[in-house]
Amino acid sequence: MLPHPTIGAWYRLDGGESFEVVAYDPDDGTVEIQFFDGTVEEMDIEDWDAQREERRLEEVEPPEDWSGSVDVDTDMERDSRSADDYEESRGQWAGPLEGLDIFE
């Protein structure tokens, strides 16, 4: 039998779409789940436990294509700067607090 919901774990109910547990609040008695397409739903822990006891809920592997709920542009081009250009521009920074004195 499956344990209580684990944040970051993937499950499937009745052989349907797989989903990830993104939040679990035992005090409130709710489980937030997110489907691959980004849809988020809330489930009562009583419903979760009932599905688990009836063996209708199964733990599954995460999808190989993690970009389902993430807005990713597959045509993005890599930065064409060379490593020398990167090192040169990096040397221009004095530190993360540089320039704060302009607010005085």
32, containing H or E segment: strand 30-35
Residues 72, 79: Cα–Cα separation, whole Å? 16
Residues 88, 86: Cα–Cα separation, whole Å? 5
List of residues 6+ apart from 23 with CB closer than 8 A: 7, 30, 31, 32
Q: How many CB atoms lie within 10 A of CB 103?
A: 5
Does the pLDDT at position 70 exceed 70?
no
| pLDDT bracket for residue 74 (50, 70, 90) | very low
Q: What is the pLDDT of residue 76?
A: 46
Q: What is the pLDDT of residue 31?
A: 96
pTM of the predicted structure, to 2 decimals: 0.61
